[in-house]
Structure 1
Amino acid sequence: MNINLSDFRMDFNELSARFRENSHVVLLTAATVFLLVAAAALVIFFIFIRGAEQVMVPSVTGKDLSVAMIEMQEKELYPRIQLRYSDRLDDKGTILSQSPAPGSIVKAGKRIELTVSRGIVIDKMENYVGQNIDDVKMNLQALFTSMEKPLIAIGDPPLYRYSPEPAGTILEQDPLPDTAISGPTKVTVVVSRGPEYDRVTVPAITGLSIPEMLARLSDSDVVYDFSARYPEREEKAGTVVSQTPAESMAVPSFSRVSAVIAVPVNAPDGLVYGVFRETLPEYPYPFQIQISAISPMGDRYQLASFRHPGGELSVPYAVEDGTVLVLTILNKEVGTYEIHPEQQTDTADGEE
């Protein structure tokens, strides 16, 4: 069989002629296809920007978590759950709050913040007898810090009575230990004032330097009333030069002992000498007090720590010019005081 390739040759002139004859059909077809593609693109675009269906956020606060989940699912909403302790025993597993608020219009698929109760931290009363009341208050505050209302609080003011137990010790409590707790509870306590007729011996402080005197305060059971004046005769500046009552005398605990500090006329070490003073409320028992110092360079250090029954407070100091003294009572800062040389002159002149 013989094949003639010339029979398969394409006549381009004929094709060109046919195209010219049907050009309007070709152009119309191309335009139609273009319009169809453009229309499809617009439809897809508007579907995309329209997004998910808008729905109303249901109210689920106060409902059980399982019920809230079903209601969210019906609206095509998704919860983001946070757990928090509450102050009611029967709150466990219920919704405490939600965001966005009920009635808000959002798109389907949005996440809704739900705060769910973990229940109460503890379900029965602890035994506080024998513990220091200030320690108990701080522990309770730390335990319920994340709650809107603390589950357990010490009733104020406590009842006080003299006792052989150290001052501040809880002697009795109501409700009793192991009592079931169903909601916020106030605990009534009886607190020791310390022994009524406890007596101590006045320590020997004459001759002590100011740093030595400050260190002695921490274990002292008397209250010192300090005053300052310039040295006389052979007295050494920067030391305690007299005290009343004299050393070794027996006095009731936290009796007041007068002590005089000799401050230098011109301090050779560049420090400022003086006596810090403050009037405190009268406390039912001696409270823990701290005096801290912040140097002009920002360094902080403890100057003195001691117990004080309230009333007039005085503490000697020898610090750099511009030092800030910080008064702290029961771990709470109550005041700051900046020290300058003119205060030393006023203190010494006032005591002469």
Structure 2
Amino acid sequence: MKLPFDIKRLEELDPESHKFTLLALVGIIVLMTVAGLIAFFLALQGAEQTMVPEVTKLELTTALIKLQEKELYPRISLRFSSNPSDRGRVLEQRPPAGTIVKAGRRIFLTVSRGPAVNQVENYVGQTLDEVKIHLQTLFASTRPLLAIREPPVYIFDRAPAGTILEQKPVPGTEISGLTELVFLVSRGPEQARVKVPELQGLSIPEAIRRIEESGVAFAFSMRAPEGRERPGLVVSQMPAPGSLVAPDAPVSVLVSRPAPEKGMVAGLLEETLPVFPYLLKVTLTAQYPTGEKIVLLSAQHPGGLFSVPYVVPNNTVLILSAANRELFRREVRSE
């Protein structure tokens, strides 16, 4: 620190002046020390403290005014909410109301952007599965505002099966709360009757191939061979070959149980499926213990009772799927 005068010159002063000068010097040093201490403690004390006000559920402009009155500053993030009336309102604040903070502190506000969708969209021409996936994605993080009435109304139409033909409410309707969507859905063109193929005497794989080619529905059953019946063959069918039946009317097929083979397992896979609104292609896949996958059957099915015979390696997993969705899987093994 540079003093305002040269100390060496003090020796040239008379004793009285010398004493006065020393006292002045000490006073200056004391004042400077006190001023430094005051500035230090003021810096430690910082800004004035204030209480965070309650701003949740307020309009954003009102919330900002309340924060400004407390000399607090907002940091805003936006998110969708399920209630249309929440648009532009504060959903959350951090720190919460009542917290004591220093003036100038930033308060984090989450503000509603409103619902992810505020009008009913046009779903006509889309498939029912596409709309279901779309709605699940749309409301993945909020409470759903649109729900599909189950089951939809199905009618025969030239449009592909599963296509939405009509909807209520109409497109553009404002959404003010949970809204139910009512769809009129195509079952596809009304199909002509199909001819029942000749199955008796065929092996199980041959019978399955013939069913796939003809397009008839099916219902297999199995029993032990009787009399001179050979194992693993179709022993009877109903209706008779050449009959005309509706595509969703199952043809009953009785097969004799295949002969036992080492390392193989034979049986009848039976499962009750949901009744489909229209014929769906079902696929039965066998996943061998080696990991190899083989398609055993791929045919149209109306849903309900599903039954089909199989002859596969022991510990094979049978997987049934429809419309690209797995319905069930089952491991089969010899007893």
TM-score by length of 1: 0.63
1:185-196 correspondence to structure 2 within 5 Å: 185-193=179-187
TM-fit CA distance, 1:303: 5.7
1:41-190 correspondence to structure 2 within 5 Å: 47=44, 53=49, 55-61=51-57, 63-64=59-60, 66-75=61-70, 76-84=72-80, 86=82, 88=84, 91-92=86-87, 94-95=88-89, 97-100=91-94, 102-103=96-97, 105=99, 107-108=101-102, 109-117=105-113, 119-121=115-117, 123-128=119-124, 130-150=125-145, 152-163=146-157, 165-176=159-170, 178-183=171-176, 184-190=178-184
CA change 1:300–1:265 in 2 (3 A) is closer
Moved more, 243-252 or 324-333: 324-333
CA change 1:132–1:211 in 2 (3 A) is farther
1:267 match = 261
1:1-352 correspondence to structure 2 within 5 Å: 47=44, 53=49, 55-61=51-57, 63-64=59-60, 66-75=61-70, 76-84=72-80, 86=82, 88=84, 91-92=86-87, 94-95=88-89, 97-100=91-94, 102-103=96-97, 105=99, 107-108=101-102, 109-117=105-113, 119-121=115-117, 123-128=119-124, 130-150=125-145, 152-163=146-157, 165-176=159-170, 178-183=171-176, 184-193=178-187, 198-203=192-197, 207=202, 210=205, 213=208, 217=212, 221-229=215-223, 235=230, 237=232, 243-261=237-255, 263-268=257-262, 270-286=263-279, 289=282, 291=284, 304=297, 306-328=299-321, 335-342=328-335
TM-fit CA distance, 1:225: 0.8
2:17 match = none
Letter in 1 for 2:244: A
Contact 1:288 1:330 in 2 (8 A): yes
Letter in 2 for 1:146: S
TM-fit CA distance, 1:192: 3.9
TM-fit CA distance, 1:133: 2.8
Contact 2:95 2:107 in 1 (8 A): no
Q: Classify the secondary structure of the residue corresponding to 2:112.
A: strand
Letter in 1 for 2:314: D
Letter in 1 for 2:131: V
TM-fit CA distance, 1:340: 1.9
1:164 and 1:179 mapped to 2: Cα distance? 27
2:19 match = none
1:9 match = none
Letter in 1 for 2:142: M
TM-score by length of 2: 0.65
TM-fit CA distance, 1:223: 1.9
CA deviation profile, 1:280-313 (whole Å, cap 9, x unmatched): 3544434565555565577778665554333311
2:100 and 2:214 mapped to 1: Cα distance? 67
TM-fit CA distance, 1:62: 5.1
1:60 and 1:312 mapped to 2: Cα distance? 56
> For the aligned residues, what is the CA RMSD?
4.6
**How many pairs are equivalent?**
298
2:210 and 2:240 mapped to 1: Cα distance? 20
Contact 1:221 1:254 in 2 (8 A): no
Letter in 2 for 1:116: S
TM-fit CA distance, 1:201: 2.4
CA change 1:263–1:208 in 2 (3 A) is same
Q: Classify the secondary structure of the residue corresponding to 1:259.
A: strand
CA change 1:230–1:275 in 2 (3 A) is same
1:301 and 1:44 mapped to 2: Cα distance? 82
2:167 and 2:289 mapped to 1: Cα distance? 47
1:246 and 1:265 mapped to 2: Cα distance? 27
CA deviation profile, 1:79-122 (whole Å, cap 9, x unmatched): 2514326463x654x13621447525264535525143155436
Contact 2:93 2:109 in 1 (8 A): yes
TM-fit CA distance, 1:78: 3.6
2:48 and 2:257 mapped to 1: Cα distance? 81
CA deviation profile, 1:159-198 (whole Å, cap 9, x unmatched): 334445555443332223x433233432222334456673
CA change 1:113–1:167 in 2 (3 A) is same
1:46 and 1:294 mapped to 2: Cα distance? 75
Letter in 2 for 1:147: T
Q: Classify the secondary structure of the residue corresponding to 1:121.
A: coil
Q: Classify the secondary structure of the residue corresponding to 2:136.
A: helix
Unpaired runs of 5+ residues, structure 1, are: 1-28, 343-352
Letter in 2 for 1:157: P
Unpaired runs of 5+ residues, structure 2, are: 1-25
Letter in 2 for 1:314: S
1:57 and 1:326 mapped to 2: Cα distance? 60
TM-fit CA distance, 1:256: 0.8
